[in-house]
Amino acid sequence: MRLTRLVHTLRTSLWLIPLLCVLAGVLIVIGALWLDRRSGYTLVPQSVTGTPSGVQTSLSVFATAMASLISLVLTVTLVVVQLAMGQFSPRIVGALLSDRFSQLAIGLFAGTFVVAVLTLRELRGSDTGTVPGLSVLLAYLLMFASLVTLIVFVHHSGQTMRATGLIDLVGDRTRDLIESSFPAAPLPDADPDVITAQEPGNVVRVDRSGLVAAARRADCVLELVPVVGDFVSGGAPLFRVHPGPRRAADVAGPATRLRVEEIARLVLVGPERVHTEDPPYGLRKLVDIAERSIAQPFDDPTTTLQALHRLHDLLRQLATRPLPAGEHPDEDGVVRLVERTLSWDGYVRLAFDEIRLAGAASPQVTRRLSGALQDLKSVAPPDRQAPLDRQLRLLTAAVHRAYEDEEDIVAALTPDSEGIGSGADVTTAVRLDSGTPDADGRPARTQG
């Protein structure tokens, strides 16, 4: 049991791998210096390493930079841990501290510092004007590797600070533990007309032309089960295969003529949704910002209004455009790929439902929502009016539940593009009279 505890402590510690890297750096530079002395400092010519004074300056800068870099990396690691503890869960700290890449990066920087310092000591201790070329070249290579690792480390830290990065970190480790700890159950007979996902993740991109071509060759119709952007579990249905128009003359099922690996490669499954082929994801992000801004303890309805401005603009662009039907024919006009797509009702609900529920007690939010819905009704065609009418109806009901005074209810439902700032009840009215024209020949304006 003591051995088990020791192994567990070493595996979950932050210091072990950096310490081993430092020791490895000491041993490597000692061996390189020994080889330099044995060869009379002729293994690597000065045309490669530089003159003694130049090498001394370079190594001094390297050592100073590495010391600063190590402190910076440790600070970034602590910041990531603190943010994860405060925003997500304090139980995530162990997974972050045992992150192997962060440990190796810290170890590489510390090992490079040791190599630079010991090589610089050898150089300053030599009175012959010679350069330990192999050791200096080793220091140069480690410095270059440290620069590359620094860039990758910054990217890695940024990815780790995201909610998706932390969720994937815990999910992947737990999934590996399940696969190694629990025996695999016998699988039921697989449906020959279903193609499953090879790994878990979000559907990021779909090569529709490639899928149409593959379905045409197999004379079948492919049905994409998840919507683009959906999360798919490993082994869950990705496609359903349906017979094509010439199926009756073929005794073999359509799935037998498809290469499953080829079909799976035509769908990119990634760790997180992206904007490549997923417009609803942009609305999702704006809604998250808006909803978070009016939640306690932030209580920042002005930020919510800014998000609503962009949501209003996006829906205005979609209001008059035809939305994809989700059917993809081949060159003969035969539908070979079908998929579910978001409808106009879906876009409206995605943009407004959560904000309406969360911001019913904020007059800025309800006035801005009312203004956006009234404007969308003025441009949307008749067959797209119903979802907007539904939102107005639900908004009115939510405001009546939030306020008791009739004047507050009327004020909260007054359309206003700035929340409180440009509605009809807070601005002066502009009236065009048919009286004396002004200097430009236009009717004079009178403010009421």
Q: pLDDT tens, 231-257?
A: 999 888 999 998 877 654 444 455 556
- Contact call for residues 294 and 300 (beta carbons, < 8 A): yes
Going by DSSP bridges, is the β-strand pair 220-224/335-339 parallel, antiparallel, or unpaired? parallel
Count CA atoms within 13 Å of residue 250 on its CB side.
14
The structure's pTM equals 0.74
pLDDT above 50 for 27:
yes
Query: What is the average pLDDT value for the chain, to the nearest integer?
Result: 84
pLDDT above 90 for 298:
no
Task: Tally Cβ neighbours within 10 Å of residue 224.
Answer: 23
21-45 in b/e form (b: 16+ CB < 10 A) is bbeebeebbeebbeebeeeebeebe
Q: Give tens-digit pLDDT for 159-204.
A: 777 777 777 777 887 888 788 888 776 656 667 788 888 888 999 9
Distance CA 203, CA 190 (A): 22
- Contact call for residues 131 and 42 (beta carbons, < 8 A): no
Distances 20 to 100, 143, 260 between C-alpha atoms, Å: 13, 18, 45
Q: Which among 313, 308, 314 is positioned nearest to 419, based on CA atoms? A: 308
Burial degree of 126 (CB within 10 A; 0-12, 13-18, 19+): middle
Predicted local distance difference test score (pLDDT) of residue 43: 87
Element (H, E) at 223: strand 220-224
Number of helices (H) and strands (E) in the chain: give both, helices first.
Answer: 16, 10
Q: Which 3 state secondary structure label does DSSP give 172? A: helix
- Contact call for residues 275 and 237 (beta carbons, < 8 A): no
